[in-house]
């Protein structure tokens, strides 16, 4: 299944697993590198077909290692009831898309450190198996397994160590943010500071990669290290870019936390009676007003929400027979928000729910409606000064 983020290849723990198109390039490159350079050196005397088969198998095992690393994050996050939108595997590894932030510094630290722990466990298991296997009589097949085990083990150790670099958004940067958050009791300030660390390490890695390329091309070091320098520079640039985005997002979130839902909501709310037919609702409300959803009232009380998505679940020929109360979604905590709650909390609640709008309540009284687009429109209308602050 193809989505905007890549191909969905399955689900684990209920989480969609997607592969970005860029990962296919990495798979091909890793397979080629192993089949033409590493494996002939580590395991001489085999056929090209065996080298390519082993290279492909090693690339798949490394792919599974990255996936398990991300699942480690997700497993801990799910224990804190943090919804996971998907896991995407791409050119620089993988990322778990969490729909809200950790509730406490402790949770943030445990979620961050879970991935490297999984990588170290895989690395220790593989390298331990290689150590035991080397003491046994070996044939070609066992020798090949030992080479693959050593490769996968050492790469997992490297993945774990690299992710512990204390620069956001790497796992080490998230652990750093947890510590800064616990120390300052300010999540957004902690995010900004750990993102600055990410920017710094991004520059350092890029410069180190550039120096390695220069050294290899001028024969100060072995010429084969050019590839390592290129990867190091690309990873540094990627870390710098993502840290910059994270810093900007932290500034935006900090601004949203200071905006009341009551300041961005629409006060003129159009509501649908619960006892009218779906056909009447479509004609008199959806078509007449052009909105994608409406609150549903019964005896003056809000009892649900009905949207175009709900209409699409009902065959057109049944619209004249079914009433709105039969297809609406009942109101729950994820569909409402208080008048004085922040716009940031509203966005987080939309992300964990199923819609892009919330009912704004003053006690049990409906006073407005807030949408994702209305919040961002309000932010944009605040003027250039805030936009400049966000971009620094």
Give residue for tokens 């991004």. Answer: 202
Rounded Cα–Cα distance for residues 255 and 263 (Å): 13
**Which listed residue (70, 345, 348, 388) is catalytic?**
70
Tokens of 276: 């009218």
β pairing state of 93-98 and 272-273: unpaired
Q: Report the candidate in 353, 390, 360 with the shortest Cα–Cα distance to residue 264.
A: 360
Catalytic, 70? Answer yes
Residue written as tokens 């037919």?
277
Dist. CA 100–CA 48, nearest whole Å: 48
Task: Enumerate the active-site residues.
Answer: 70
């Amino acid at each position: 299944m193809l989505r905007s983020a890549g191909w969905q290849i399955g689900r684990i723990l209920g989480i969609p697993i997607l592969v970005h198109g860029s990962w296919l390039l990495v798979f091909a490159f890793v397979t080629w590198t192993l089949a033409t350079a590493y494996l002939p050196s580590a395991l001489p005397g085999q056929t090209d077909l065996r080298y390519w088969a082993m290279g492909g198998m090693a690339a798949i095992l490394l792919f599974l290692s990255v996936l398990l690393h991300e699942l480690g994050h997700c497993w801990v996050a799910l224990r804190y009831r943090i919804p996971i939108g998907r896991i995407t595997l791409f050119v620089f590894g993988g990322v778990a898309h969490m729909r809200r932030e950790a509730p406490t510094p402790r949770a943030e630290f445990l979620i961050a450190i879970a991935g490297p722990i999984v990588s170290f466990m895989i690395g220790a298991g593989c390298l331990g198996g290689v150590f035991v296997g080397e003491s046994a009589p070996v044939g070609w097949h066992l020798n090949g397994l030992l080479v693959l085990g050593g490769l996968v083990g050492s790469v997992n150790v490297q993945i774990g160590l690299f992710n512990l670099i204390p620069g956001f958004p790497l796992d080490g940067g998230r652990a750093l943010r947890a510590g800064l958050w616990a120390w300052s009791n300010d999540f957004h300030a902690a995010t900004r500071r750990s993102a600055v660390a990410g920017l710094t390490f991004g520059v350092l890695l890029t410069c180190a990669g550039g120096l390695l390329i220069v050294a290899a091309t001028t024969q100060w070091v072995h010429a084969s290290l050019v590839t390592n320098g290129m990867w190091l520079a690309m990873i540094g640039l990627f870390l710098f870019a993502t840290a910059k985005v994270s810093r900007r997002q932290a500034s935006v979130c900090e601004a949203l936390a200071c905006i009341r839902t009551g300041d961005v909501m629409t006060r003129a709310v159009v509501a649908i009676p619960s006892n009218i037919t779906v056909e009447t609702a479509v004609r008199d409300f959806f078509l007449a007003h052009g909105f994608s959803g409406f609150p549903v009232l019964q005896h003056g009380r809000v009892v649900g929400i009905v949207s175009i998505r709900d209409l699409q679940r009902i065959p057109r020929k049944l619209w004249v027979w079914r009433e709105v109360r039969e297809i609406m979604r009942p109101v729950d905590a994820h569909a409402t928000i208080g008048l004085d709650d922040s716009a940031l909390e509203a966005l987080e609640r939309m992300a964990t729910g199923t819609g892009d709008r919330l009912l704004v309540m003053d006690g049990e009284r409906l006073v407005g409606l807030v949408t994702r687009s209305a919040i961002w429109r309000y932010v944009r209308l605040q003027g250039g000064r805030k936009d400049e602050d966000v971009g620094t």
